[in-house]
Structure formats: C-alpha cells, structure tokens
Structure 1
Amino acid sequence: MKRNVLLWIGLGCTYLSVAAQQIEMVTTTATERWKGQKVKVLKNDGRKADVYVYTDSLMQEVDGFGGTFNELGWDALQCLDAEERGKVMEALFAKEGINFAYGRTPIACSDYAFAYYSYDDVKDDYEMRNFNVGRDRYTLIPYIKEALKLRPDLKLWASPWTPPIWMKINEHYSLKSHGVDKLGTGHNRLDPRRATFIHTTGFNMQVGYLEAYALYFSKYIQEYRKNGVNISMVMPQNEIAWQPAWPSCTWRPEDLAIFVGKFLAPQFKKDSIDTEIWLGTVNYPNPDYVRAFLKDKDAAAAIDGIGVQWTGKQALPVIQHEYPRYRYMQTENECGDGENDWTSLERSWKAVVHCFNHGVSSYMYWNMVLDETGKSGWDWAQNSLVRVNRQTREVVYTDEFYLMKHLSHFVQPGSRRLKVSAPGNMLAFRNHEGKTVVVTYNSGPQPEKRNLQIGGQRLEFELPPLSLSTLVCG
C-alpha cells in the first residue's frame, strides 16, 4: 500500500516529513500574496517524475539579487514618516523581506536623478580640484545608509550614465536630440547639429581627458568611503550602445578597452583602490562587442566580470561559454512602462530564467521605489518594486516585489544553481543554508499539478493559475 504524507506548509509553521526534512512552500498570484501551499511527500516507488532536480549537479555560484538607488526613489520615500519609511526599507533589505544582497548606485546623474549633474563641471579641471560629491550627501548616500543599517554586508556597485560634459565630444549630457517618444515627450533640448552616431565614441579620447576621467572614478570611490559607503565594484559606462534622451555616452569597444586597461586600472593601482572593475553595462546583443573589448590584453586582465542589461542578455549564451573565467551579472531588469501588473512579473521571470540558465551569478532590479506616477525627469513612467503615493501616503508592493522576494529571500550569496530537467520555467538552487530551493511558474489559466523528484525525495503539489511559487526543502 502506497503511503502519502500530507504536509501543510505556512509561513509560521513547518512540519517534518517522513524523511525528517523541513519543507516550506509559498505561492503568489495577482490577488493572493505569499500564501502557504500544500505539499505531498510521496513514497519513492520508482515511477517517473514530471521534473527532476539534480542535487548533485552544482552549476555557477550565486552572488545574489539587488536593486538600484536613485534620487527620485529617495524623494518618494520622504513623504512617509520615519516609521513607514523604515517598513519599506525593511521590506527590501531585512531578512524577513526580500533581503537584497546587492545595491547599485549611479555615479552622478542618471535618468532617475532630479536633473543633469556631475561631480566636476569645471571645464578642463584635469586634476579634479573641484571634484565634489556634496549633492549625493543629501540624496543617494542617505538612501544607501538606510539600507546598510539593515544589511551591513550589502555589496554596492556603481556606474556612470555620462562623464562630465567637458570630457565629451559634443559637450552635452546626451548624445542625440530627441525625447522618449515620437511626440518628443521629455525632449533633452540638445541642438540636433551636435548629435553623434551611435556606434562611435562620445568620449573625447585625448590623453588628458582619459587621465582626468580615471582620476574622477578614483576620487568618487575615495569620497564615498569618507562618507561611510564602500563601493566594491564599478562598471565604466551604463549602456555603452544607446543614445537615449537622458544622460548617456557611447563607447566603441576598442576605445573603452583603452580607457579601462591603460588609464582606469593603473589609476586604481596607483591609489591603492581594491574596487573591482567590470566590463559593462553591455546592452549590445552581438557578442562581438565583448570579443573586441577583450582582444585588448590590458583591458582583459583588468576586469573581474561582465555586466549585461536589456538586449545585452542575448549575448550571454555565447560570451559566458567563450569567457568562462569571468563572473556575469544582469545589471538592470527591464523597466516596463509603469504598468506594474502581472505581465511585468511574467516578463521579468522569463529574463531571470534566461540569465541564470546562461551563467549570471547576480541579478539586479532597476528602481526599487518610485512615486505614484513612476515618471522620470524625461516623463517616462517605469515600473518599481514599491509605489508610494505622495498625496495619500499609501504604499503599494507590486507584483515584481514578490517576484524578487520569491528569489532573494531564499537564495543568498554562496548559493549554487542546480541542474533541472525542465529549465524553461523553473530554477533550482542549493542555497547558502544547504537547502534545496525550487522556484517555478505556472503561466496557464488552469491549476497545474507538479510531481517533482529532488534527489531521493518525491514531492507533489498543485500550482494555482498564473502563479509563482517557491519550494524549500532540506
């Protein structure tokens, strides 16, 4: 007679199976968040399972998940009182919440800053006498420090959207004259005659500017450390192959390699800075960009990893195979258009699965917090994990908040990805506690029963329609 053991798994109580293993399962739908789920432990009678998790097939090590600090996010939080603001930060960084292990921050302005700025706007200040991060002490640094209170080991990395304009060939924060749509919404007011071509380098490649820019990075890291924030990694340019309405700077791979290998890395060595340098953020789908950069031996030796975002993830299957010695990061989750609905979760889930199945060790969300409009200074409404209504003070945790929680809450640095027999809609990990974590999605309109073999244990459960679930056993 076959013996089934039924376990009820909730957030507050977990019972032991016949194998004396703890099992937990939580599920999220568009209407029910983080709900405990029933799991059956079946007798392992040799019948074929639907899906196998190979607990002895360890893939890449996981460095963790994270989100991005931006000025407009911190501004949205200011309409809340200290207690409510603290609850939002706990939801993002405390162990009971998402428990993000990474944080990204812009080097000076981004598209979610209040306005254009750099740390040294004095023309031809090659020695950086006027370098100053004073503005960040009122916006980005307090935001980061609130996170550090909850997660002191939070790993921070940074990238610029643009160099100071006097280092650029068109002396403007942007490179192309346009807005975010065909109507010209959020136009950057750049004279069209000063626009550049996308596959050229927007940086002025004269030696003096290259030296000054390397010093700019060095001073940034040193000044942030003086303010109690350690930047452990930098990528020299956000989206090296795009000319949006907001701050940007395109780089040919050969030119970026010259800057990194012959100027940035030597400057860090001179100043005894141990901050890692990564190639990124690469938003070019053709792997030839990475290949061209790595042909420069100095640049190849200088970097520790490669960061990709948006269409750059299309190059992952090739580059992580050709260059296995580097670590890989997905640096910016696609931001959507402010819809903040289940379609956003589904799109992001597919990106997470693709990226981890092709070698990334870390995955970054874009804006963690925005106001009720979600709009940048260029009037593009984007998604976020948390929405704060400035008028009503209502705080809304979006579907993608729960997506990131289903992952990062259980999978922390030191985890390893596991091989699964059906990798298209499931991820599995041996987490930092030695437990097996399975994250799976039901994309259909009907409930779906799953029969899962994890090592020597057979489990069965039912997934609600359009649901994301995490199962933890061990």
Structure 2
Amino acid sequence: MIKFIYTNDKEKWKEESSITRTNKKANLIITNKRGRKLDGFGGCFNELGMKALLDLDKENRKIVLDKLFSPDGECKFTLARMPIGASDYAVSWYSLNDIEDDYSMAYFSIQRDKSLLIPYIKEALNRQPNLKISASPWSPPVWLKTHQVYNFGKLKSDAQSQDAYALYFTKFVESYHKEGISIAQVHIQNEVAADQKFPSCVWSGEQLRDFIKEHLGPKFEKDNIKTEIWLGTINSPEFFKEVGQDYDNYANCVLRDEDAYRYVKGVGYQWQGKNAIQRTVQSYPELKYYQTENECGDGNNSWEYAHYVFTLFRHYLTNGANGYLYWNMVLHSGGESSWGWKQNSMISIPIGKNEVIYNPEYYVMRHFSGLILPDAKHIELEGHMSGNAVAFENKEGSIIVNINNSYQEKKLLNIKHNDDVWRVCLEPNSINSIIFL
C-alpha cells in the first residue's frame, strides 16, 4: 500500500490517490543502504512561547499542545530543548543565580522558571512522559563573566569561577529533578562562537575542552549526575568568512583530547554548524548528533522560507543527525523578541486573541516528525531527484520519503521501490510525503 500526502500554499496535509505504476526511468531510487538511527524531533521551550499560549482559552491551548506532543498528535514530538536562565526569547534577562560572588551557589534558584517555563514543560510531559529534554545557557551569571553583562564577554578562567559554573549546572539538573523534570543532556553554551546583542558568551574550543575535562565532567561524576554532557551548541564555521572557527577549532579540538572525550556523549550543531556536521559524524560516528536550533527567518513565516527549512532538515538528516529541533514552536504573531528581533514560529497566536495560526513551517515539521518515528533508520537515495529528498525506514517497516518541490510548476516524480517504479505528480510550491506501508 502507498500513501501520498502533500502540503502547499493552497492545500494543507492533503492525501492524494493519483499514484500509478510506470515503465519510465526512475529519477528517485530507494536503495537498500540503511544509515543512522533517529531519536526524533522537537522544539524549544521559551518564556515568550508560554506567554502566547496563555492568550488561548483552555480548550484551544489543549488542542495546540496535543498536536505538538501527544503520541497520537500531528507532530509527535519526542525531543525538546530549554534555556538555563534567559534566552533571547525570555521576557527579560536573568540567570539562576544573580547574587554576586556566591561561589557555593547558596542562592541558586529556579523560582522564576516556575511561572512560565516549568508549566510549559509539564504540559508537554503530561502528553509525552518520555520527552528527552536538552538544556543550555545563553549566558552564565554575569558575575562569572569577564565583563559583567549578559550580552558580552567570556567565562572567567580562574578555577574558582569554573568550579562554581560546574556547580551551577549540577544545581540546575538537581533542581529540575525535584520538579519531576529529567534533563537528558546539557550543552555547555548556546552558540559558542557568537557575541550577540542578547544573552551570549563566547567560548574557544580550548576553553570548552578544559571546562569539560577539568570541571564539569569531574563534577557530574562526583555528584553522580546521569545527565549527558554534549558538546554544543556549535554555530560555526561560516565558510569564507571566519578564521579560527572551523571543525578543528571546535569539535575536533575537544574530541581529540581523550580526557575531554570520555565525558562527551554527543554534539549539537546549529546555524553555521551545518558546515561541520558531516566531517564530525565521519570522524566520530560513535557519538550522537542533533541539529539544536532551526534557523529562524524574519517573522514573515513565508512559504519561500519553509522550503529553505526543508533543505535544512534534509542536510542535517542526510549528514548524520540523530535529532532535529525547531526553535520557537509558538509565538505571538510577528514573532518579536523582547529586544526587537522578529522570527518565524511553527504556530502564531495573534496578541490578545483566542486564535491559532499554523504556519508553513508547522507543516514542514509535521511531514517529518508526524511520519518518521524514533528508531527510524536513514535510507540512502539515488537519482536526479535525490537532492530534494530524504527517506527513512520506521521500526515497523514503513518507508517515508519526503520531497520538496519549491518550483511554481508541477514536477513529475518516478520513484523506484524494490522492482516497481511509481509515478507521482508533485504540486507546485509543495512539501510531499510518499509512504510505503
């Protein structure tokens, strides 16, 4: 049995029956070559996302959360990400300990998180108890930085500050555990190579290496913290622009050091990190890899950008990613951050209205996360259409082939599975899923 589902600017998640055998030459071939297993898909919890959800009444909020996280929902998320302290989509900037020189972390507190972040996470866990949550800070507490501001500087290099920061991670994991929330992974820093206008902290590969092997790794080991340490989130290299931010400067710098490597269970890449994932997977195939933050657009939620997002899914999944995470699942319409940057979201909620808008990137995600399930294996494709397609085999044997047609005209696909070639007409401006059951 074969199913064909497509979405474009005119039709949303439409099942089509016009699939016929053909004797034409195949331009997309499903091979017998199987690759890496998938952990799943997800998105990031942010304060502004929960603020938007709270504009909805209880019934509509339930519908949105069910669609995102329920195993029977449309997106079936099994992964999630959250900030440790403020992200750029926090209501305002903060850390979990703003008391200067509190190296023992006596005043560490997640009290603020209990108003928006923790309720958001618990709504998801109520629907998907096995949700794997990763967490990363955008900035350390400012008193631990070389310049005492959220949006600038580096972590201080002295042992007292580094030990205190390792303790900060431990306190975070333990505090969330007391709330009934298990943190599967911590990533050392959001976008290690970015000095941003919003909370940020720049790290070199050498600084990451030394913090992991001399402070965070031993601290987690001593305190019996089972949360995995991941090298992330790496947002470099930007080809032909930056020197000193390449694969050897970050991932390979850390992973080739045996004392650091033994603590690292995976690598998180986002943005310009797409230029390094293939080399890292090839060199260290035993580790896991996530795309940790879908690129965010400009708040217009256009179909043109949705096609670009499809290429990001394809790029990361074809080059070895075990998981793919969207950035803001839900925002108010316009997607404006507290400091003025407008970004895309899967779902928009007009300010002050009990109304839900499902944007194009919601459907891009649904074509992946709603059909390709945890433990699915990547399938290698061949043929002239393979550059716009990606395929997986689910654990129970179904095969999902996702294909992008960004052109404003129909495209004919002749797809070969086993000994048969099937003819499919791809609608203009469409995201497509062909399912072999």
Task: Give the alignment's TM-score, normalised by structure 1.
Answer: 0.88
SS across alignment from 2:339: coil
**Residue 126 of structure 2: aligned partner:** 149
Q: Indicate the percent of aligned positions where both proteins have the same amino acid.
A: 40
**Residue 71 of structure 1: aligned partner:** 47
Distance in 1 between residues matched to 2:219 and 2:20, nearest whole Å: 58
Alignment of 1:352-363 (within 5 A): 352-363=313-324
Q: Are the equivalent residues in 1 in contact too, given 2:393–2:400 (CA < 8 A)?
A: yes
Letter in 2 for 1:386: I
Letter in 1 for 2:326: Y
Work out which of the residue numbers 242, 247, 254 in structure 2 matches 1:287: 247
**Residue 224 of structure 1: aligned partner:** 176
Tell me whether 1:32 sits opposite 2:43 in the alignment: no
Q: Are the equivalent residues in 1 in contact too, given 2:190–2:200 (CA < 8 A)?
A: yes
Tell me whether 1:173 sits opposite 2:133 in the alignment: no
Distance in 2 between residues matched to 1:51 and 1:39, nearest whole Å: 18
Alignment of 1:403-414 (within 5 A): 403-414=364-375
Cα shift readout 1:300-329 (whole Å, capped 9, x = no counterpart): 111011111001111122222122221111
Tell me whether 1:334 sits opposite 2:295 in the alignment: yes
Work out which of the residue numbers 67, 70, 91 in structure 1 matches 2:67: 91
Deviation (angstroms), 1:138: 1.2
Cα shift readout 1:18-60 (whole Å, capped 9, x = no counterpart): xxxx3222100012100011243427x6x63221101x21111
SS across alignment from 2:207: helix
Q: Are the equivalent residues in 2 in contact too, given 1:111–1:246 (CA < 8 A)?
A: yes
Work out which of the residue numbers 396, 402, 405 in structure 2 matches 1:439: 402
SS across alignment from 1:162: coil
Distance in 2 between residues matched to 1:344 and 1:66, nearest whole Å: 19
Query: How many residue pairs align between the two structures?
Result: 425
Tell me whether 1:107 sits opposite 2:84 in the alignment: yes
Tell me whether 1:243 sits opposite 2:195 in the alignment: yes
Cα shift readout 1:319-358 (whole Å, capped 9, x = no counterpart): 2212222111111010011010101211111111111121
Alignment of 1:40-439 (within 5 A): 40-42=19-21, 48-54=25-31, 56-94=32-70, 95-175=72-152, 202-285=154-237, 286-288=246-248, 289-422=250-383, 423-439=386-402
SS across alignment from 1:89: helix
Deviation (angstroms), 1:464: 0.5
Letter in 2 for 1:32: E
Deviation (angstroms), 1:228: 1.1
Q: Are the equivalent residues in 1 in contact too, given 2:20–2:424 (CA < 8 A)?
A: no
Letter in 2 for 1:34: W
Letter in 2 for 1:57: K
Q: Are the equivalent residues in 2 in contact too, given 1:254–1:296 (CA < 8 A)?
A: no
Letter in 2 for 1:432: K
Deviation (angstroms), 1:447: 1.1
Q: Which runs of 4+ in 1 moved over 3 A?
A: none
Q: Are the equivalent residues in 1 in contact too, given 2:96–2:108 (CA < 8 A)?
A: yes
- Tell which deviates more after alignment, 312-321 or 248-257: 312-321
Q: Are the equivalent residues in 2 in contact too, given 1:411–1:432 (CA < 8 A)?
A: no
Deviation (angstroms), 1:432: 2.9
Distance in 2 between residues matched to 1:216 and 1:471, nearest whole Å: 47
Deviation (angstroms), 1:412: 1.4
SS across alignment from 2:348: strand
Deviation (angstroms), 1:71: 0.1
Deviation (angstroms), 1:124: 1.4
Deviation (angstroms), 1:444: 1.7
Deviation (angstroms), 1:232: 0.5
**Residue 241 of structure 2: aligned partner:** none
**Residue 182 of structure 1: aligned partner:** none
Distance in 2 between residues matched to 1:142 and 1:392, nearest whole Å: 21
Q: Are the equivalent residues in 1 in contact too, given 2:57–2:354 (CA < 8 A)?
A: no
Q: Are the equivalent residues in 2 in contact too, given 1:426–1:440 (CA < 8 A)?
A: yes
Cα shift readout 1:412-435 (whole Å, capped 9, x = no counterpart): 110001010043100110013320
Deviation (angstroms), 1:456: 3.2
Cα shift readout 1:58-100 (whole Å, capped 9, x = no counterpart): 1111111110000000001111111110011112112231111
Distance in 1 between residues matched to 2:334 and 2:306, nearest whole Å: 19
Q: Are the equivalent residues in 1 in contact too, given 2:36–2:320 (CA < 8 A)?
A: yes
**Residue 242 of structure 2: aligned partner:** none
Deviation (angstroms), 1:242: 0.6
SS across alignment from 1:307: strand
- Tell which deviates more after alignment, 379-388 or 445-454: 445-454
Q: Are the equivalent residues in 1 in contact too, given 2:60–2:354 (CA < 8 A)?
A: no
SS across alignment from 2:428: coil
CA RMSD of aligned residues (A): 1.3
Cα shift readout 1:341-387 (whole Å, capped 9, x = no counterpart): 10121111111111112111111100000001311111001000000
Distance in 2 between residues matched to 1:99 and 1:362, nearest whole Å: 13
Tell me whether 1:473 sits opposite 2:436 in the alignment: yes
Q: Are the equivalent residues in 2 in contact too, given 1:278–1:306 (CA < 8 A)?
A: yes
Alignment of 1:1-12 (within 5 A): none
List gaps (5 residues or longer) in structure 2.
238-245
Which structure is larger by alpha-carbon Rg, 1 or 2?
1
